[in-house]
Structure 1
Amino acid sequence: MLTVVGCLVESHDFRLVTLAAGICALSSLTTVCLVSHARRALAGAQAGWLAVAGTAGGFGIWATHFIAMLAFAPGIASGYDVPLTGLSLAIAVLLVGSGLSLAVLQGGRPAAWGGGAILGFGIAAMHYSGMAAYDVAGHKAWDAAIVAVSLALGGLLGGAALAVQVDARGPVGQAAAALILLLAICSHHFTAMGAVTVTPDPTLAVSETAVPNAWLAVAVALASLAILLFAGAALALDVRDRRHARQEADRLHSLANAAVEGLLVCTGDTVVSANRSFAKLVGLPQGSLAGTVLSAYLPGEAGRFALASQPDRPVETAVRQADGTLVPVEVIMQPVEHAGRPHYAVAVRDLRARRRAESRIQFLAHHDALTGLANRASFGTRLEEGMRAVDAGGGKLAVLCLDLDRFKEVNDLFGHAAGDAMLESVASIVTAELDGAMMMARLGGDEFAVLMPCGHSSAAGRLAERILEALRAGRPDGNGPPVAASVGIAVYPDDADDRAGLLSNADTALYRAKSDGRGTYRFFEARMGAEVRERRLLEHDLRHAVARRELELVYQPQTEIGSGEVIGFEALLRWRHPERGHVSPAVFVPIAEESDLILQIGEWVLREACREAASWPRPLSVAVNVSAVQIHGPRFVGLVHEVLLQSGLAPHRLEVEVTETALISDPNRALLTLRQLRALGLRIAMDDFGTGYSSLSNLRSFPFDKIKIDSSFVRSVDSNEQTAAIMRSVLGLGRGLGLPVLAEGVETAAELGFLAAERCHAAQGYLMGRPSPIGHFSTHTHGSSAGAEKIRA
């Protein structure tokens, strides 16, 4: 009686045993690689790859068994039944494929163990059907206990192999799964071989249809070749997949690093990977984040709970940096599949910039962007609160409206940067004079307001005095234009019983302060309301006067005293209001200058006077009055040049009359403008000489061509010795400087006789002609006799 266990050393060819083990190892590794590829394949392609994996595994098990059988040489005749041998191969392929399909298609550990058990039973079924095909000249007997052990080994190790393959990561994991599958095949084979006992019987003969060992060797060789082909294909696929996986991982890693937001991939509380933005956010090297716990960066339990309970919805929480600092962030979590397993991706957005922007927006909603003071809305809210406090607890509440004097000139002369600097300086200077109970706001432009709780109105007056004094002493940058302001004061509840009325009355007091000379303050008085309303109505109508053709020019002749000949005309502005009738220039010109309407009106006067003078056949001069606002404007010289070119008027026929008050606010700017006008060929006259502050120095400093004596020095010059002495002095000064002198306001022959005796150059007044439309003077402008009687009249 011969047993396999007893003759393993004496009856086996260990070269073939080694070959069987090698074929088994190659088959196992091929099967594991193909199964891994099938797990990653799309659903439509999985069935094909599982069929390939089942075929490779079945062929490998079958080849291992029969190579090991070829290694066995019991010394008696033997052969292999062809149908049973083929059936054993089919059984191996079918059951191995079934087990692999269950493990892959169902997924998870239970399916892996179940599929592995089927695979193990497939090994056993192939082995015992193969042993049934083994035809030997003797009797075969089986040990039931050892057969049970072989079945158990195949099932357990087969299940373990597929279970390990589920978690396999990289070459090491796949090699471990292949090794267990190798043990499952080999341990089952040699255990099952130990369960059989072969008893030789000379009376028995091997069937003539049995395949001898030589033919079996050819079949095994073909099976081994198939395994090699499968192994090559599996290796190629594995290499390709790894390359693609590496490229895809690199691409995803690059994309993740390119993201501005922090990105993490986690499993449970463990960070699998993190991008560069998240590493920068927490202040740690990117390579050190993998393997750390998410709770180290999201310390708040509430935040983590909100994330877990609200996936796909952003949650605001905080991230802890490496130094312990908490950074506000917005976090959103989303389930993802990573490396074939469920994970979740966490996007982390830094909220610091957004919080700063929100804070800035919140600030700007209640404050002025330039000065940082409260804005109009905040001031209104605070005013309402202050009024309610007064109603509840008594006392008074003063509103001080503050407006900068001639602020537009600062912008025009020095630029808007200087204007902004002045506004910031005013805010700083005035705020320094206030205590904690007071509030300053910028209402718009150069308008400011101060809110002051007080016990008596006089306290508001003292504050206004301090503010004006501090502004006079301060300059925006130490050498810029001086700051001048006017203040109007209204007191609640004395002057109004609501917010709108209180602000309106404070504004009315401000207008009065400006009208009374600027640089001062005024309290509201009831009689101011009607005056201010009237002034505002006039200003409103004046804004539309040019477009409505309500303005007109009249002309007053200027006569040479010696010959009596008209040498030119002064253009004088008149306003014919459709309801008020003729409005005096003494009323509307100051309004135009304060509201800067003088720029629009002055341009119209200049264009109209030049156009009219250019139509005269006789080359008489035309004089136009120019305000301080025009002289200091940056466009005035260019405007004059443009008007002369468009009208065709010779520059020497245009005379610009400038008062001394137009020079004192910014002498350097005025001097530059006058010199540029002289360069164009114009003549410049000092108007109202003697009424200014520094006439003699102005005559020396500025390029005047003529002096016009104010009418106050001409009136009664023939009968008042003091007036006559002043007139003689001025005429002598003009002769000494080489400047012709024109006397304004000549109304009597006696006044004209005095001027002739004192050799005054020219005169202008009612005696020579009243201001009238230019048509009344056609005898002078066109050289005809028409209208001469009208002039005398």
Structure 2
Amino acid sequence: MVTVLGCITEKHNVWLVLVAGLLCAVGSWVTARLFQRTVGTAGMQKLGWHVLTAISAGVAIWCTHFVAMLGFDAGVPVSFDPFLTVLSLLIAVGGSTFGFALAGSRVTRFAPALGGAIVGVAIALMHYTGMMAWRIEGIISWDVPYLVASVACSVVFAAAALVCAMRAGPHAVNLMAVTLSLAILTLHFTGMTALRITPLVVPGAFSDLAALHTLALAIAGLSLVIVCTGLVSYLIDSDVRAESLEHLRRMALSDLLTGLPNRGSFNERLDLEIVLAREAGTRLALIGIDLNRFKEVNDLRGHHAGDEVLRILARRMTGLLRENEFVARIGGDEFAAICRMTGEVTAEAGLEDFLGRLEAALYKPVRLDEYEVVTGGSFGVAIYPDDATSKPVLINNADLAMYRAKTSMTRSVCFYEPAMDEMVRARRNLASDLRGALAATQLSIHYQVQTSLVTGETRGYEALLRWRHPVQGPIPPATFIPLAEENGLILEIGEWVLRQACAMAISWDPPYPVAVNVSAVQFAHANLTQLVAGVLGETGLPAQRLQLELTESTIFADRGRSLRTLRQLKELGVSIALDDFGTGYSSLDTLRSFPFDRIKLDQSFFSEAEASPQDRAIIRAVLALGKSLGIPVLAEGIETQSQLALLTEEGCDEAQGFLFGRPAALAEIVGTGRIRLVDTRVAHSVPGKGDAEGIDNGKSPGAEHGQTLDSTT
């Protein structure tokens, strides 16, 4: 009885069988790879991969069959019908296309098995169509059991191949290639075993076996070229995908503006460095970096200039990096650096050197067109594992140290200290208390007199905000106002102060003007003019009795918008005072651009004016400037008779300070007789002498100087 193995060894050219088997294996593996790519794509790209998969599969199936047939010894002359031969190739490609498309569609859970079965049927149809194209000098018959077995093997193995391909796993491609090869080879050799040939003697008929074998090798070579083309397409796409993924990864981990590593890359690097430090028993320095005056660059020169500054500083920091050093931009004008501290002796020195290089890079002037910008930076340093043993705590401690550096007037680099935690916790608790201070009536307004130095008459009063904490007592101004601004409370509190001051002043006799401080946050708010107009309308206070005080640094943040707002306020009839003149961005151009109603000369010039010729010269110059511009000058913080004598000698218009009167509650001022209340309802609502005291809008409790209410003149 003829067996499959006997058919292979006795009826076939063994070398061509090996070539056919190699071709089938390579083609199946490439087909499996290409099919895998179709599963992860969509749209036209998916269609393209399906076409490549079908071509690779069809060529592998057809060429395996044709090469193996050319290696079969029929014992009689043979030839091929070209039409049916080409038709068999089309069946292989078309059937594979439909089967693979169905298998990868996921329309049902059985789609892979159904698609594979269609591929198996296509293999069988291709084989027997090719057998029909075989012209031999003899009578063909079939062993039905082998014929049925060949078709069954093709369908079962092809279905199994597609099921394996659709299951996720590291060996899915190889399993598909093996089972698809089995589907092709078992079909062919089992089908050839089913073939029975009864020779017929036909005179002159012969077949050239050498030519057939040469044709088989040519077909095998051509098929390998086609299959390899599919493989190359796969490899090229894989390289492109890998490059694209690497490019996307670099983009995801890099800051697009500066090219520095971004926050994601920083987190990855910090995780790695902590692991390395832990394993090696070494230390690691995390440095938080915040640019000091970057907002000014954006406000004055525009965001394009700010972007250019960031790019230049990033290039500088990248250029100074050495081994075991790392810098990333983590957002806005914030950066983070990592320094691996190795060696007992050199670790501290290496960190100091790194910090010195970073400082030099940030403090070196940046040239922008015709301007030079010096941003500078604040550096907060936390050491692993000395200051923290986990990443979140290490980052938090570096931030605390950086915040301390940013608020320090003398240090640009601060190392973390445990006491910083307590300070931050206390500050957060105080901010929480501040949120409820207004509702709990802990806030009140005190008033400080403003006096004419020429006549000695009262010119008005400045409204100063006070806060007496129920536990801590009076809160210093350096703590209170920054908290309100940082936590978004200044708008609500500022509106309350404005409304209360106007509501109280309407009942004063004489009808003195009242001055109210406006913070930078309030002034930057879009509806300040509408708020002032609304408060004046509600309280009935004449606009000419309200004076708003603001610092020049407030105006300088956005000069064009600020001047427009000031003009709108002036149109209401409100007067404007330039507060703390001489301490900020004082410029003659600001005074020229807007007609202020008053200049308030900062108290810092009077503390040493008697012994400092420079301070006396500045005072004299400001007073002369005010007279030349027709703007009254009010001196703040006047405490002594000698200071008063100096101002009188230099021709100052007005003064304010402890020498003329401390800030006091309205009831206390009424009690002295300086003010009478014409509305008894207001008189009964005036806070008493014992009401809460605290701070004014950015000034000391004395309105001009000092940090406590106990300051004396």
TM bucket, shorter chain: 0.5 to 0.7
**What residue is the counterpart of 2:277 in the other structure?**
390
Residues 284-363 of structure 1 mapped to structure 2, 5 A cutoff: 292=93, 308-309=159-160, 310=162, 314=166, 326=233
- One-letter identity of the residue aligned with 2:512: L
State the Cα distance separating 1:582 from its structure 2 match.
0.7
For 2:348, which of 457, 465, 481 is the aligned residue? Answer: 457
- In the alignment, is the contact (CA less than 8 A) between 1:401 and 1:449 conserved in 2? yes
- In the alignment, is the contact (CA less than 8 A) between 1:297 and 1:321 conserved in 2? no
Is residue 582 of structure 1 aligned with residue 471 of structure 2?
A: no
State the Cα distance separating 1:702 from its structure 2 match.
4.4
Residues 701-720 of structure 1 mapped to structure 2, 5 A cutoff: 701-714=593-606
Q: Distance in 1 between matches of 2:297 and 2:330?
A: 19
SS at match of 2:270: helix
Q: Distance in 2 between matches of 1:268 and 1:661?
A: 74
State the Cα distance separating 1:443 from its structure 2 match.
5.0
- In the alignment, is the contact (CA less than 8 A) between 1:571 and 1:622 conserved in 2? yes
State the Cα distance separating 1:488 from its structure 2 match.
0.8
Q: Distance in 1 between matches of 2:654 and 2:503?
A: 25
TM-score, normalising length: structure 1: 0.49
**What residue is the counterpart of 2:636 in the other structure?**
744
**What residue is the counterpart of 2:180 in the other structure?**
none
State the Cα distance separating 1:707 from its structure 2 match.
1.9
Q: Distance in 2 between matches of 1:734 and 1:711?
A: 17
State the Cα distance separating 1:720 from its structure 2 match.
8.9
Deviations 1:124-177 (A, max 9, x none): xxxxxxxxxxxxxxxxxxxxxxxxxxxxxxxxxxxxxxxxxxxxxxxxxxxxxx
Structure 2 vs 1, CA of residues 515 and 777 (structure 1 numbering), >3 Å: closer, same or farther?
A: same
Is residue 262 of structure 1 aligned with residue 47 of structure 2?
A: yes
- In the alignment, is the contact (CA less than 8 A) between 1:297 and 1:320 conserved in 2? no
- One-letter identity of the residue aligned with 2:395: L
Deviations 1:274-322 (A, max 9, x none): xxxxxxxxxxxxxx999856779999xx999995324598578999998
Q: Distance in 1 between matches of 2:564 and 2:375?
A: 23
Is residue 626 of structure 1 aligned with residue 518 of structure 2?
A: yes
Structure number with larger C-alpha Rg: 1
Structure 2 vs 1, CA of residues 500 and 711 (structure 1 numbering), >3 Å: closer, same or farther?
A: same
Structure 2 vs 1, CA of residues 550 and 531 (structure 1 numbering), >3 Å: closer, same or farther?
A: same
SS at match of 1:262: helix
For 1:522, which of 408, 414, 419 is the aligned residue? Answer: 414
Structure 2 vs 1, CA of residues 559 and 373 (structure 1 numbering), >3 Å: closer, same or farther?
A: same
- In the alignment, is the contact (CA less than 8 A) between 1:398 and 1:460 conserved in 2? yes
Q: Distance in 1 between matches of 2:228 and 2:489?
A: 62
Q: Which runs of 5+ in 1 are unaligned?
A: 1-256, 272-287, 330-349
Identity of aligned residues (%): 43
Q: Distance in 2 between matches of 1:607 and 1:320?
A: 85
- One-letter identity of the residue aligned with 2:574: L
Structure 2 vs 1, CA of residues 354 and 394 (structure 1 numbering), >3 Å: closer, same or farther?
A: closer
Q: Distance in 1 between matches of 2:47 and 2:300?
A: 52
**What residue is the counterpart of 2:287 in the other structure?**
400
State the Cα distance separating 1:383 from its structure 2 match.
2.7
**What residue is the counterpart of 2:577 in the other structure?**
685
Structure 2 vs 1, CA of residues 315 and 538 (structure 1 numbering), >3 Å: closer, same or farther?
A: same
State the Cα distance separating 1:400 from its structure 2 match.
0.8
State the Cα distance separating 1:325 from its structure 2 match.
6.1
**What residue is the counterpart of 1:765 in the other structure?**
657
Structure 2 vs 1, CA of residues 384 and 656 (structure 1 numbering), >3 Å: closer, same or farther?
A: same
**What residue is the counterpart of 1:207 in the other structure?**
none
Q: How many residue pairs were aligned? A: 495
State the Cα distance separating 1:583 from its structure 2 match.
0.5
**What residue is the counterpart of 1:181 in the other structure?**
none
Deviations 1:305-356 (A, max 9, x none): 9953245985789999989764699xxxxxxxxxxxxxxxxxxxx9999999
SS at match of 1:506: helix
**What residue is the counterpart of 2:141 in the other structure?**
none
- One-letter identity of the residue aligned with 1:386: E
**What residue is the counterpart of 1:186 in the other structure?**
none
Deviations 1:411-463 (A, max 9, x none): 89999999888877776664554456444455566543222213423433443
SS at match of 2:664: coil
Q: Distance in 1 between matches of 2:611 and 2:368?
A: 53
Q: Distance in 2 between matches of 1:393 and 1:509?
A: 26
Is residue 650 of structure 1 aligned with residue 650 of structure 2?
A: no
**What residue is the counterpart of 1:166 in the other structure?**
none
TM-score, normalising length: structure 2: 0.54
SS at match of 1:678: helix
**What residue is the counterpart of 1:198 in the other structure?**
none
**What residue is the counterpart of 1:55 in the other structure?**
none
Q: Distance in 2 between matches of 1:365 and 1:258?
A: 26
Residues 64-79 of structure 1 mapped to structure 2, 5 A cutoff: none
**What residue is the counterpart of 1:3 in the other structure?**
none
- In the alignment, is the contact (CA less than 8 A) between 1:570 and 1:623 conserved in 2? yes
Is residue 507 of structure 1 aligned with residue 399 of structure 2?
A: yes
Structure 2 vs 1, CA of residues 390 and 562 (structure 1 numbering), >3 Å: closer, same or farther?
A: same
- In the alignment, is the contact (CA less than 8 A) between 2:56 and 2:230 conserved in 1? no
Q: Distance in 2 between matches of 1:714 and 1:446?
A: 37
State the Cα distance separating 1:575 from its structure 2 match.
1.9
- In the alignment, is the contact (CA less than 8 A) between 1:425 and 1:476 conserved in 2? no
Residues 425-436 of structure 1 mapped to structure 2, 5 A cutoff: 430-431=317-318, 433-435=320-322
State the Cα distance separating 1:487 from its structure 2 match.
1.8
SS at match of 1:606: helix
SS at match of 2:468: strand
Deviations 1:369-413 (A, max 9, x none): 987866667645533432332243354311011234477788899
**What residue is the counterpart of 2:498 in the other structure?**
606
Q: Distance in 2 between matches of 1:359 and 1:606?
A: 58
Structure 2 vs 1, CA of residues 750 and 451 (structure 1 numbering), >3 Å: closer, same or farther?
A: closer
Structure 2 vs 1, CA of residues 715 and 384 (structure 1 numbering), >3 Å: closer, same or farther?
A: closer
Deviations 1:447-489 (A, max 9, x none): 4322221342343344344445544545999999975542211
Q: Which runs of 5+ in 2 are unaligned?
A: 1-41, 60-88, 105-111, 117-158, 174-225, 691-713
Q: Distance in 2 between matches of 1:427 and 1:540?
A: 38
Structure 2 vs 1, CA of residues 751 and 523 (structure 1 numbering), >3 Å: closer, same or farther?
A: closer
Q: Which has the higher contact order (CA 8 A, sep 6+)?
A: 2
